[in-house]
Amino acid sequence: MRTYLDHLGVERGLAANTLTSYKRDLRRYLGYLDSVGVGDLDAVTEQTVLGFLMALREGDAEHPPLSATSAGRTVVAVRGFHKFAVKDGLARLDPSAGVRPPSPAKRLPKALPLADVESILDAAGAPGTVLALRDRALLELLYGTGARISEAVGLDVDDLDLNETDGSVAGTVLLRGKGGKERIVPVGRYAREAIAAYLTRARPELVAAGTGTPGLFLNARGGRLSRQSAWTVIVKSAERAGVTAEVSPHTMRHSYATHLLEGGADVRVVQELLGHASVTTTQVYTLVTVDSLREVYAAAHPRALS
């Protein structure tokens, strides 16, 4: 298992958070194998893996029952482990090959109305503080580029190019996504102006409190802003704005994608902007826009209603 995790980290280039999840899932699997008296890879059968899946869904004294999504993620880790063991000559057969992860209920992404997004942006940070400029820049970047929260807090100042390129879109940002994949995304005027204000009037004061870092978004001690702190920035801004819907960093990303598609953007362009490996992942947003089209049709067409 340690060999497999090294493979994921070094050869596959998985992110640290993903590796942590794999390690947690596989440790639980090892614990289950131990509890049923299996101590050798070749002693694992398909029924053993199915039993583990059932245990995940049912829970026990130490673990609550897992949802279909969480159990499915764990089974994916187990399947990858067994497939690797066979490929690396550590086992003769793959007992997990016939075990399919449970299918989770399809949930549509949560997108906010534009008015709510604008209210959250306007409510960023405590007024009159350098952190208000940072928070506004962070939120404008998240909504203006569709960046994941990990991509945003991982940015360095040098990843930005805010020079105007034409009359409508100014500048770009280099985002590093899952698996170390990079993409260049346009930065619009509102985000560019908020970031420029932060870089000029707030970041110098924040960086002076620390030991110097190339990170773009800094905390009050001059260090790089953490994911948890960035999450808090969004939640607090939503509370100040009076937005009652559940808001998270991914809400801004979902809203970015949905608003682009509603504005007429091609789904494959949105795929590139979001950094999705497959267009199938992006197409779930089209379900949201189809619902919007149905509402407009029902309200506007004279023969839409029976």
Annotated catalytic residue within 28, 134, 176, 276:
276
User: In whole angstroms, what is the distance from residue 247 CA to residue 239 CA?
Assistant: 9
CATH architecture of 114-245: Orthogonal Bundle (1.10)
Q: What is the pLDDT along the chain (306 residues), one digit of tens a residue?
A: 889 999 988 888 888 888 999 999 999 999 999 999 998 899 999 999 999 999 998 888 888 888 888 888 899 999 999 999 999 998 999 999 988 887 765 565 578 999 999 999 999 877 778 899 999 999 999 999 999 999 999 999 999 988 765 554 568 899 998 777 899 999 888 999 999 999 999 999 999 988 888 999 999 999 999 999 999 999 999 999 999 888 988 889 889 988 888 888 888 888 888 887 777 767 666 665 655 556 656 666 666 654
Annotated catalytic residue within 178, 189, 224, 240:
178
Q: What is the full DSSP assignment across 143-209?
A: HHH---HHHHHT-BGGGEEEEE-SSS-EEEEEEE-GGG-EEEEE--HHHHHHHHHHHHHTHHHHHHT
User: In whole angstroms, what is the distance from residue 276 CA to residue 213 CA?
Assistant: 30
User: In whole angstroms, what is the distance from residue 284 CA to residue 233 CA?
Assistant: 27
Annotated catalytic residue within 253, 254, 256, 259:
253
- Residue boundaries of the structural domains of the chain: 2-87, 114-245
* Number of Cα atoms under 13 Å in the Cβ half of residue 248: 9
Active-site residue flag, 87:
no
* Number of Cα atoms under 13 Å in the Cβ half of residue 69: 3
Active-site residue flag, 107:
no
Q: Assign 114 to helix, strand or coil.
A: helix
Active-site residue flag, 32:
no
What contacts 109, CB < 8 A, 6 or more positions away?
Answer: 250, 254, 257, 258, 284, 285, 288
User: In whole angstroms, what is the distance from residue 74 CA to residue 53 CA?
Assistant: 8
| Model confidence pTM above 0.95 | no
Active-site residue flag, 276:
yes
Active-site residue flag, 294:
no
**Cβ atoms within 10 Å of 170's Cβ, excluding its own:** 19
How many residues are there in the chain? 306
Annotated catalytic residue within 148, 203, 254, 259:
148
Active-site residue flag, 250:
yes
